[in-house]
Amino acid sequence: MPSTAFVLIMLALLAGLAGIFVYAGLYNIGADAPHSRVVYTILQELRERSIDIRSRGIHPPTHLNSPKRIAAGAGLYAEMCTGCHLGRGVERSEMSQGLYPQAPELARGDDLTLAQQFWVIKHGVKLTAMRACGKTHSDELIWDMVAFLQQLPKMSPEQYKAAVASAPEDHEEMMEQMKGGAAHAPPEKAAPHTHTHTHTHTHTHTN
């Protein structure tokens, strides 16, 4: 077994090399220069494990498939998400083409559970363009978006347009309506946990 002194020296050398690597700016952080396969794999595994662990114990509310929730979620999705995640019949935007990692096209589905979708929308994801919507939106509104995401992969472009057009209020009105009840909103646990998965197209983002 190596001595304690040897281990400490090696750790100091590794830390020094890491410091030089960072300070010298050797790693290209540009979004148009993809990660190496090793770095990408490590970051992907880190992201997926982090989301999985932190979303445990989050239980979807009942009646997640209610037309009212889905309609509200359609309006929120159209205003907040289409720039990056697109929609049925929505062409790729300049923003979506410049993102790295690429935001998943959610009309194709993803492999997240309901709880994981809720967590990602609420908390966002570091090192991506996914913001933390929980900073400005209540849990109820976030669940509305999750409700809509369950239906999106099943929609045709015409159905998607109709769903957005039939959204009950605009974004500002929904936000105002939720302000009064947000302080008394129930915690993330709202019903017995279901580990239902959405469609199985693996995404890279994880908002």
Query: Mind listing the domains of the chain with CATH numbers?
Result: 64-179 (1.10.760.10)
Helix and strand totals (H; E) in the chain = 9, 0
Higher pLDDT, 193 or 111: 111
How confident is the model over 143-190, as pLDDT tens digits? 999 999 999 999 999 999 999 998 876 666 666 666 654 444 444 544
Condensed to tens digits (0 to 9), the pLDDT of residues 39-87 reads: 999 999 999 999 999 999 999 998 999 999 999 999 999 999 999 999 9
Residue 129: strand, helix, or coil: coil
pTM surpassing 0.95? no
% of the chain at pLDDT higher than 70: 81
Q: Which two tokens stand for residue 151?
A: 């239906």
Gap between the Cα atoms of 44 and 28, Å rounded: 18
Beta bridge partners, 103, equal none
Residue 203: is its pLDDT beyond 50?
no
**What are the residues facing 197 on neighbouring strands?**
113
H or E element, residue 143: helix 139-151
